A and B are shown apart, each in its own frame.
Chain A
Amino acid sequence: MDGIHITSLPDTWWWPFVMILVAGWLATDVWRWLGVLAGGRLREDSEVFVWVRCVATALVAGVISKLILFPQGALAETSLALRLLAASCGFAAFLTFKQRVIVGVLTGEVVLLAGWVLHDVAF
């Protein structure tokens, strides 16, 4: 991909908004609109629907693991091991405590923050 960036009109004030509306809003909402139009026809108990949902679930899961393994911003400063540990502990706590999302999220955060502080103190 490198070297073929199409940077035709990047420096006007309105170009970012065109990007956001076309590449963001349209590219996202078109799936919601298609979902509305197709939702009346496809039966929820059909095999095709089970497959479609599998594809969608795997897609979201792919997003999750990318956010943990290749994070952006400040989280990129932490070690991969710490992020994996935090996510695993959070998920384990979620499963253990009646699948309460808040328990999973708080546990993951506590592990991350504890590991981060310990690392800063130790090094």
Chain B
Amino acid sequence: MSASAGEPPDPSSSEKDTGAAPVSERTWMLRGARAAVSIPALILTAAFVGYAGLARETGLSLAETLVMTGFVWALPSIVVLTGGMATGMGLVPAAIAVALASVRLMPMTMALMPLVKVPGKTPTWKLLLASHFVAVTAWVYAMKNLPDMQRDGRLPFFIGFGGSVTIFVFTMTGISYMLVDHMPPIVAGALFLLTPIYFLCSLWGAARMNADKAAMIAGLALGPVFFVYVPGLDLLWTGLVGGTLAYLVTRIMRQGLS
């Protein structure tokens, strides 16, 4: 509710050019990079520092950990794949498990497109490139702040933001992989807890209507149930059953039984 796309401009952001002087795409990218120096980015970095510990414990090499971080760039999917590789899962079952854990990225990307696209002008390849940075952190930031910027600056800003966060997290993941041997369990444990609490808060903050919040509550409750009864397909069932239930209940509340 608080993070709706139509929120009034955040006074702390400096990106409020109303088109007085034309600003180059490079400038917009640099502004995005500067905005990336933020608390959410630090939380994400800390979560990846924790992941580096898990990866090393699991037996992934440094190169594997870094390729996974840079190419997959979605922490839950990375954790799913790491777990799959640890248990010797085959390529196809692992791909299915990761795909099921990543389904959320499609509607997230869809919701972002109307914001960053300049109709008739933005080439699709640029959007495909930018879409790689869609993950909870950049997405929540973008949905909150892009609507206050001038339209043609949004895509370069998003690429600058997402690219900087990715490069920083990638570097810190590598550094902490090498140092992680010395990480006490209590530190590693605290870092592992960052992701769920961070997602819990930012997902609620990104909810635009009651349906989203109902879906979140349904997903929290059903996730463990399906994990116990249909392991493997649990997230898909959680999404379909929990999401549909939340949609139907809130739709009836909105419109009655029509």
A binding-site residues for B, Cβ under 8 Å: 1, 5-8, 10, 16-40, 42, 44, 47, 49-75, 77-78, 83, 86-87, 90-91, 94-95, 99, 101-102, 104-105, 108-109, 112-113, 116-117
Contacts and interface: CB of A to CB of B under 8 A. Distances in A.
A27 B218 CA distance: 25
A70 B232 CA distance: 14
Nearest to A18: B91
Interface of B: 2-3, 39-40, 43, 50, 53-54, 57, 60-61, 63-64, 67-68, 71-74, 76-79, 81, 83-85, 87-99, 101-114, 117, 124, 127-128, 131-132, 134, 136, 185-186, 188-190, 192-205, 207, 209, 211-212, 214-224, 226-227, 231-232, 234-236, 238-244, 246-247, 251
A58 B90 contact: no
12 contacts: A16-B64, A19-B85, A28-B102, A32-B109, A35-B131, A36-B124, A59-B103, A59-B238, A61-B217, A78-B189, A99-B201, A113-B186
B60 to A, nearest CB: 7
Contacts of A58: 215-216, 218-219, 222, 238-239, 241-243, 246
Contacts, number: 342
A85 to B, nearest CB: 11
Contact of A101 (B74, B91, B205, B218): B205
Given A24-B78, A57-B207, A58-B215, A29 B199 contact: no
A63 B101 contact: yes
A91 B134 contact: no
B190 A112 contact: yes
B220 A104 contact: no
B246 A31 contact: no
Contacts of A78: 189
